[in-house]
C-alpha cells in the first residue's frame, strides 16, 4: 500500500505588517526603484508562503503604472535578494480604510531571522503604494522542499513600469501575446501567477477582465485563469483567485496571455513563475 502524505496546510500566520500596511515610495526619477521599506523584520519562524496586498495606487484618468520588488535580507537592512520581481501594482485600487486593490499568495521559503522588504518604481515620480504582507509558517501542500525560493517574471517592461502590451477582446478572448517575446522560458517551471495593468490606457471600460495563461496561442493548453475587476476611474482589483497554479512546463516554453474583457482595451500583463 503506497504511503500518502497529507497536505501540510498553511500553518499559522502570526507575523504580519502593521494592519495599516507599509508605504513604498517610488524613485524620484520616473521608472526607477525607490528605497527598500521593511515589511517584517525579523521573521520569528521559517516562512513557506506569503500573502501580499497592495492598494492606494489608482488615479482617475491617470496612468499609474507601477512595479514592485519583494526582497529578503538580513535583519537591520542591506544586501536584499529579490525573491518576487516586478509585481504589477499598477492601478491597484484602495480607498482609506479599505484593504482591497491587488492581492497574491506566493509559495515562498524564507528562513527564520531574515527580513522581508519591498520597493517600487512608477511612471509617476515618488508615487506611493501601501503594502500588507502575511507570513505563513507551513507549506500549503506537500514537502517543505517544494517551496519556491526565488520567483522569476516574464513580460515586465521596466522602462514604462508596466507589463507587456495585450489587448482584451469584448466579451471574448482577444489575441494572445507571448510574454517571453518568442524566446521561451529560461528554465523549467511548475508554479505560475499573473499580474495585469492598464499601461497608458486612462479610459477603461468597467467590468471583469479574465486573464488566460496558456502554452499555445489558441488556448488549448491552458495553465490557469484569473479574474480582475476594473472601474471607469481606472481602478483595478485582483487577481481572483489570489493563488498561483501548479502546472509543469519545460524550459523553452512560450507563455501566452489572452484577456476576455468588458470591452476591447489596451492592457499590460506579466507572468510570475517558479
The DSSP string of 198-231 is -TT---PPPEEEEEEEESSTTSSSEEEEEEEEE-
Given a cut of 60, whether residue 1 has pLDDT beyond it is: no
Q: What's the pLDDT band for 8 if we cut at 50, 70, 90? A: low
The torsion defined by the Cα of 199, 156, 27 and 113, in degrees rounded to 10, comes to 130
The torsion defined by the Cα of 154, 157, 158 and 159, in degrees rounded to 10, comes to 160
Q: What digits encode the pLDDT tens for the residues 76-129?
A: 989 999 999 999 999 999 876 666 899 999 999 999 999 999 999 999 999 999
Per cent of the chain over pLDDT 70 is: 93
Q: What whole-number distance in Å separates Cα of residue 72 and Cα of residue 162?
A: 23
Q: Burial-class residue 4 by CB neighbours within 10 Å (0-12, 13-18, 19+).
A: exposed
Q: What whole-number distance in Å separates Cα of residue 133 and Cα of residue 101?
A: 13
Q: What whole-number distance in Å separates Cα of residue 102 and Cα of residue 237?
A: 5
Nearest Cα to Cα of residue 127 among 33, 241, 244: 33
pLDDT at 5: 56
Q: Which domains does the chain have, with CATH numbers?
A: 15-146 (2.60.120), 152-273 (2.60.120)
Give, as one character, the DSSP assignment of residue 174: -
User: What would the grid cell of residue 75 be?
Assistant: 535583519
- Write down the mean pLDDT value for the chain: 94
Nearest Cα to Cα of residue 69 among 93, 36, 96: 36
Query: What is the chain's length?
Result: 274
Q: Are 91 and 197 in contact (CB under 8 A)?
A: yes
Cα 66 from chain centroid (whole Å): 11
228: β partners? 209
Q: What whole-number distance in Å separates Cα of residue 190 and Cα of residue 11?
A: 23
Amino acid at each position: 500500500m503506497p504511503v500518502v502524505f497529507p497536505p501540510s496546510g498553511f500553518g499559522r500566520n502570526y507575523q504580519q505588517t502593521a494592519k495599516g500596511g507599509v508605504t513604498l515610495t517610488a524613485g524620484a526619477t520616473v521608472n526607477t526603484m525607490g528605497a527598500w521599506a521593511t515589511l517584517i523584520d525579523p521573521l520569528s519562524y521559517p516562512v513557506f508562503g506569503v500573502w501580499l496586498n497592495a492598494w492606494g495606487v489608482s488615479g482617475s484618468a491617470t496612468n499609474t503604472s507601477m512595479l514592485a520588488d519583494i526582497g529578503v535580507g538580513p535583519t537591520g537592512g542591506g544586501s536584499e535578494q529579490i525573491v518576487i520581481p516586478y509585481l504589477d501594482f499598477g492601478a491597484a485600487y484602495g480607498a482609506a480604510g479599505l484593504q482591497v486593490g491587488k492581492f497574491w499568495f506566493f509559495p515562498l521559503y524564507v528562513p527564520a531571522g531574515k527580513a522581508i522588504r519591498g520597493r517600487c518604481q512608477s511612471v509617476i515620480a515618488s508615487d506611493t503604494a501601501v503594502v500588507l504582507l502575511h507570513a505563513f509558517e507551513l507549506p500549503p501542500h506537500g514537502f517543505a522542499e517544494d517551496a519556491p525560493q526565488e520567483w522569476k517574471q516574464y513580460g515586465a517592461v521596466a522602462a514604462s513600469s508596466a507589463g507587456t502590451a495585450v489587448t482584451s477582446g469584448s466579451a471574448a478572448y482577444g489575441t494572445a501575446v507571448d510574454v517571453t517575446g518568442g524566446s521561451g522560458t529560461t528554465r523549467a517551471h511548475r508554479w505560475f501567477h499573473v499580474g495585469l495593468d492598464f499601461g497608458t490606457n486612462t479610459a477603461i471600460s468597467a467590468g471583469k477582465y479574465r486573464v488566460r495563461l496558456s502554452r499555445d496561442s489558441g488556448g488549448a493548453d491552458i495553465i490557469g485563469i484569473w479574474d480582475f475587476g476594473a472601474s471607469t476611474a481606472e481602478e483595478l482589483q485582483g487577481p481572483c483567485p489570489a493563488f498561483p497554479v501548479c502546472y509543469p512546463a519545460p524550459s523553452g516554453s512560450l507563455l501566452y496571455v489572452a484577456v476576455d474583457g468588458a470591452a476591447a482595451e489596451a492592457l499590460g500583463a506579466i507572468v510570475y513563475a517558479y
